[in-house]
Chains A and B, each alone.
Chain A
Amino acid sequence: RKEVEQDPGPFNVPEGATVAFNCTYSNSASQSFFWYRQDCRKEPKLLMSVYSSGNEDGRFTAQLNRASQYISLLIRDSKLSDSATYLCVVNGDAGNMLTFGGGTRLMVKP
């Protein structure tokens, strides 16, 4: 089983739509979870950390479900500029090492 698994997409949505991504992780001892955004051929950039209680940052909401070992990212009112690959990141089996999922590609269309 892959350590961090994501649906690669692409998710094609119109502007203004709401879209949600899930990510599953294999290590039940993982403590830290993040969503990163990566534009084509660019470096990953932190979008948001994911806290146990869930957290919201503007149009973005992240949730953690420890029982089912998945995290989610919800994007409301999608903008063209949201088009990117969204990377789920979890601290892995080695404890401190962060493990990246393969990413989910989002394409927002006019």
Chain B
Amino acid sequence: EVQLVESGGGLVQPGRSLRLSCAASGFTFDDYAMHWVRQAPGKGLEWVSGISWNSGSIGYADSVKGRFTISRDNAKNSLYLQMNSLRAEDTALYYCAKASKDQAVAGSDYWGQGTLVTVSS
């Protein structure tokens, strides 16, 4: 059974940093790309970032480019999102999602339950 468990969310002041983690199990992690997708309270889904199976291809939404960094550790079956210079508009539930193939240009077939990030002073 595929399981994706996010952690690292919380309340943080504007301008500060936070690192999200996603622990994956139930599939061969290094066969698939991975994504971060967020959902602001009461809003729709917004793709944040994606990373190919070998970290060779990475993409970011314009809204986070230059502030967020995605990475993965295939030995640890883990995905990360380093979020710097956080803004109020980054407040959202952040989902870790497994891509349906090894490249970042892919949909997602499994999702975690999300970790909430609140940016507020």
Binding between chains A and B: no
